[in-house]
Structure 1
Amino acid sequence: MTGFSELRLDGVRRRFGDRDALTGLNLTIRRGEFIALLGPSGCGKSTALNCLAGLLPLSEGSIWQDRTRLDTVPPERRGFGMVFQNYALFPHLSVRRNVSFGLQMRRLPRDEVRRRTDEAIKLVRLEEHAAKLPGQLSGGQQQRVAIARAIVLEPSLVLMDEPLSNLDAKLRLEMRTEIRRLHQSLGLTTVYVTHDQEEALSLADRLVVLRDGRVEQIGTPQELHNRPANRHVADFMGYRNLLPMKVKAAHGSTVTLEGGGLTLDGTAADAVAPGDDVVAAVRPEDLRAAAHGVPVTVEVVEYQGREFAVEARTTEGVALHLRSLERPAPGERITVTAAPSRVLVFAS
């Protein structure tokens, strides 16, 4: 594979007419790193990937591979591999011929094409399917062909655009493991686009959370999971309870909050003072039924294996999402609580 030390995006901006799809993206990707671009639909993550691939020209900024400027280089000369959401396989070509197609276009010696094709097919564990057409394969197998076709070129960077979104839940889990295995065994540098925070957390070395074309936070999965930079990142990272409240008292980073029929102690993620309007962010798994706490009325109960997902409401009608080891009944009154360290408080 072509080596590089780092890939750098400096002030990358992409406009469509008078609308900014991506603004001021600064990101340095180290060789061998797995980066996930994460965010809701329309946040700019696929735009960023297409700018990297050369499929979209930049409106402003630059892209560098070490000391080589890339944004002026045509896509076919960047040496990147790309895996698309819809696989984009040739339906009339066998697995082997789909995988070898790029090598043949480069007019490599026949023995080298055969060797590299065999190695790529073996890596994605499709040896017994090599002679089949894509239409004879499952969705997961077709996605493996697409990955093999990308890595057979020995690219300096692999770009993946929501590659698992068309698969069912079981196949998504299997392919997640497969992608991580290939990344680690080959030392690939990978940029991966997804809207699935669980997928991003499990795969990436670092996450880039985007919103409305701007970077909200860059960090490791642990950093974003435990210390989201703001309420928008918290929302996307699974803090499903985002509660408008008011600061009643503050002692250092520990604050007491009131509002919506709730009284909670939390940990300030921003500078806040008594009387401030704030948003308290709490994960459902951190809000649990307890002997003492906030009284709520159970509305919806869903069984999720080891525990129950519960939607309940306070006396003032605020919806809360929580977890319970016991099955409460709809209409039942229970009390819930959360540890102050698990309630993050953001300025409103």
Structure 2
Amino acid sequence: MSDRFTELTIDGVRRVFGEQVALRGMDLTIKGGEFVALLGPSGCGKSTALNCLAGLLPLSGGRILVDGERIDQLPPEKRGFGMVFQNYALFPHMSVRRNIAFGLAMRKVAKAEQARRVEEALRLVQLGAHADKFPGQLSGGQQQRVAIARAVVMEPPLVLMDEPLSNLDASLRLEMRSEIRRLHQSLGLTTVYVTHDQEEALALADRLVVMRDGEVQQVGTPQEVYAQPVNRHVAGFMGYRNLLPAVVTATDGEHVTVTAEGVALTGVNRNGPSSGEAVVAVRPEDFAVLAPSAPPQADELRAEVEIVEYHGREQAVEARLPGGRAVHLRTTERLAPGDAVRLRVPVERVLVFAP
């Protein structure tokens, strides 16, 4: 498995732990050179899928194929995939250089070739000056760079990353995010990346695989999944924080009119019902705060501000609708607790789903 592949296929893969079904027939095709992010909340099955790919977990059903050949019965070392763990998994008694060279030594790569590859990996992750230090002498970000270098030095056909940035502080995460994308592009890697952070996934991946309860909910580009979620669960995970119960009153092609919180709203029908109950999804940043002097609008929502968080140019606001439901908005308007606000959303930013 040392050569690059054209296509990796996950075909009906299941994984069961006792009575708990962690993966329910997962289907996915990954092209060589792609960066694919498995995204979802804790317990959705994304890490289980990664461990099945790596060979760390046997399948309960289904197949994994590389260019048409099954690999799911091969042990991890025969698959030759690179793995970057959440906790780095470095050898504390070995120098940075020896940590990176460990896999090459286990494969009995010639000493001169080992040295060449290790020096190249050190240069790629910008750790040449720290090559003779031990992991305990490095920062978290530097340790993560060592873990990445150890994975890519093997020139693997596939690199698997399991929440590799979750232990880093916010600024380091941003720095390492750029570093991972740079390495992926410059080395022509194929990468499968597990995260629960939608912003991270949107920034890094060519395609997102959104998961829930062991099932794939949606596969698409970051733009597709962000703007066109297929159901309320994907919408909620991708930042549509406001999910309001509603009742359909009329449909007209791709548009649907509903009553939500006593107000008639028109939005885009996203695989939603043509009658009966529905759910309206709105992102916080899509609410417009109307000026107090603006004339009344038939589709405006009225609310009272309860909590205001300062986010620099913007404020993150939680307000309460007359029926008691909270709504979240982001605005450049300066609001304070107790303020009455009138909110409106453009039709194309209101998504309507089945309940």
- Normalised by the length of structure 1, the TM-score is 0.98
SS state at 1:86 partner = coil
Q: CA deviation at 1:239?
A: 0.4
CA contact (8 A) 2:243 2:280 kept: yes
Query: What is the 5 A alignment of 1:260-279?
Result: 260-274=261-275, 276-279=276-279
CA distance in 1: counterparts of 2:176 and 2:262, whole angstroms: 44
Do the aligned partners of 1:83 and 1:147 also contact (CA within 8 Å) in 2? yes
Matching residue's letter, 1:329: A
**1:294–1:336 contact (8 Å) kept in structure 2:** yes
Runs of 4+ in 1 over 3 A off after TM superposition: none
Identify the residue that residue 151 of structure 1 maps to in structure 2.
152
Runs (5+) with no aligned partner, structure 2:
292-296
C-alpha displacement of 1:261:
4.0
Aligned to 2:353: 346
Q: Residue type of the partner of 2:288?
A: R
Whole-angstrom distance in 1 between the partners of 2:151 and 2:216: 28
Hey, what does 1:172 align to over in structure 2? 173
Contact 2:23 2:45 in 1 (8 A): yes
In the TM superposition, what are the counterparts of 1:125-204 in structure 2 within 5 Å?
A: 125-204=126-205
Structure 1: how far apart are the matches of 2:254 and 2:182? 41
| Distance of 1:239 and 1:59 partners within structure 2 | 34
Q: Write the mapping of 1:234-313 to structure 2, written as runs, cut at 5 A.
A: 234-274=235-275, 276-291=276-291, 292=297, 293-313=300-320
Letter in 2 for 1:148: A
Aligned equivalents of 1:57 and 1:150: distance in 2? Answer: 22
Q: Deviation digits for residues 162-188 of structure 1, max 9, x if unmatched?
A: 000000000000000000000000000
Q: Secondary structure at the match of 1:345?
A: strand
Deviations 1:183-233 (A, max 9, x none): 000000000000000000000000111100001011110000000010000
> Aligned residue for 1:121?
122
Contact kept? 2:272, 2:278, Cα under 8 Å: no
- Distance in 1, matches of 2:338 and 2:265, equals 23
Does residue 317 (structure 1) correspond to residue 324 (structure 2)? The answer is yes
Aligned to 2:340: 333
**In 2, are the aligned partners of 1:260 and 1:317 still within 8 Å (CA)?**
no
Q: In the aligned structure 1, how far is the partner of 2:95 from the partner of 2:243?
A: 50
Query: Equivalents in 1 of 2:244, 2:5: separation in Å?
Result: 46
1:227 alignment partner in structure 2: 228
Q: Unaligned 5+ residue runs, structure 1?
A: none
Q: CA RMSD in A?
A: 1.0
Cα shift at 1:324: 1.4
Shift of 1:271: 4.4
| Mapping 1:35-50, distance limit 5 Å | 35-50=36-51
| Contact residue 200 and residue 207 of structure 1 kept, 8 A | yes
Contact map agreement 2:4 2:156 (CA 8 A) in 1: no
Question: How far apart in 2 are the matches of 1:235 and 1:7?
Answer: 30
Residues 75-134 of structure 1, C-alpha deviation per residue, up to 9 Å, x if partnerless?
Answer: 101010000000000011110010001111111111100000000010000011111111
Whether the 8 Å CA contact 2:94–2:134 is kept in 1: the answer is yes
Q: Taking every aligned residue pair, what percent have the same amino acid on both sides? A: 65
Question: 2:282·2:350 contact (CA, 8 Å) conserved in 1?
Answer: yes
Secondary structure at 2:88 match in 1: coil
Contact kept in structure 2, 1:261 and 1:318, CA below 8 Å: no
Q: Does 1:15 align with 2:16?
A: yes
Residues 38, 195 of structure 1: 8 Å contact kept: yes
